[in-house]
Chain A
Amino acid sequence: MDVYQEIQAMSDFIHNAKKEISSIKSENPEQDKFLEAKDELDAVVAATEKATGTIMDRCEEIESVANTIPDKEAAEKITHQVTQIYEACTFQDITGQRINKVIDVMKFIEVSLAKLLEGTSSDEKSADVAPLMEKKELTDADLMNGPQLDGQGMGQDDVDKLLADLDD
């Protein structure tokens, strides 16, 4: 490989890297994968907080019932088990903090990528990304996105209707 080919290969590599970064850090909020990932992580925190709240509600109810049981030994055993559930519920605080750390790292990467892209004109970005998105053939990995956030994706009724339409 001569010098010209080496430089051409480097140029192609940089060009492709720019395209890939542009596709991750989109100016369109609906296509911004960082924003999407942050929303997903926020949803995880909210869901665990809600679930932990429900567990705590039930535990407090069990504890109050246990306090009315005449058999003190049985009541103590129940209370001991409830205490262990309280202890286990501290996971919500820890996981919440861990997820917030991940979000902070993502914000840092997002800002870094945005700075990197400042050297690329917006015309070049849109020209590069648009055909890439259109031509891209969906792979199995593209189709495995997990559960959708509230308000996104289809409900069961929509799925049923779509299936019926496809049968016609």
Chain B
Amino acid sequence: MSVDMSMKILIVDDYKTMLRIIRNLLKQLGFSNIEEASDGSEAFKKLKEEGGYDLVISDWNMEPMSGMDLLKQVRADEGMKDLPFVMVTAESKVENVVAAKKAGVSNYIIKPFNAQTLKQKLTTVIGVF
């Protein structure tokens, strides 16, 4: 499976620094069409109103809407139920990962993470690039 490097990616995090880090790492990997949101509700609004997204990379712990609630809303939406969704979070308990999996997460990255891990996880979700 070849990956379209112009795919539209939404990164979601309430820490501006983390948004910037993920954006820069994605750019290093060759992706250029990257949008940002600071919580689940802003992200869902973008996903619904703008559309055309190919991948979501989201933090979990955000307010007012968490990454988990965003994931559930995305999976409940007929038009986005198969949208690749990667959780990137410091929530590292077993129950967190299990809950995310049950909710339909595509992959799960624990913070802090490195560029290699990001690439590996994205490869499993969207294919080799």
Are A and B a genuine interacting pair, yes or no? yes
Binding site for B on A (CB under 8 A): 49, 52-53, 56, 59-60, 63, 79, 83-84, 86-87, 89-94, 96-97
A-B contact pairs, 25 of them (CB 8 A): A49-B17, A52-B17, A56-B17, A56-B21, A59-B24, A79-B28, A83-B115, A86-B25, A87-B112, A87-B113, A87-B115, A89-B21, A90-B17, A90-B21, A90-B111, A90-B113, A92-B15, A92-B18, A93-B17, A93-B90, A93-B111, A94-B90, A94-B111, A97-B61, A97-B90
Q: Which 6 A-B pairs have the closest CB atoms?
A: A90-B112, A93-B15, A93-B18, A87-B114, A92-B17, A52-B17
B20 within 8 A of A: yes
Flag if B90 contacts A86 (CB, 8 Å). no
Flag if B17 contacts A89 (CB, 8 Å). yes
Binding site for A on B (CB under 8 A): 13, 15-18, 20-21, 24-25, 28, 61, 90, 111-115
A-B contact count (CB 8 A): 51
In Å, the complex CA distance between A3 and B60 comes to: 58
Q: How far is the CB of A85 from chain B (nearest CB, A)?
A: 10
With A52-B17, A56-B17, A56-B20 already in contact, the answer to whether A94 and B25 are too (CB < 8 A) is: no
For B13, what are the chain A residues with a Cβ–Cβ distance below 8 Å? 93
Among A53, A56, A63, A86, the one with the most B-chain Cβ atoms within 10 Å of its Cβ is A86
Flag if B24 contacts A90 (CB, 8 Å). no
For B112, what are the chain A residues with a Cβ–Cβ distance below 8 Å? 87, 90-91, 93-94
Q: How far is the CB of B35 from chain A (nearest CB, A)?
A: 18
For B28, what are the chain A residues with a Cβ–Cβ distance below 8 Å? 79, 83
For B20, what are the chain A residues with a Cβ–Cβ distance below 8 Å? 56
Closest residue of chain A to B118, judged by CB? A87
Q: How far is the CB of A68 from chain B (nearest CB, A)?
A: 16
Q: How far is the CB of A157 from chain B (nearest CB, A)?
A: 35
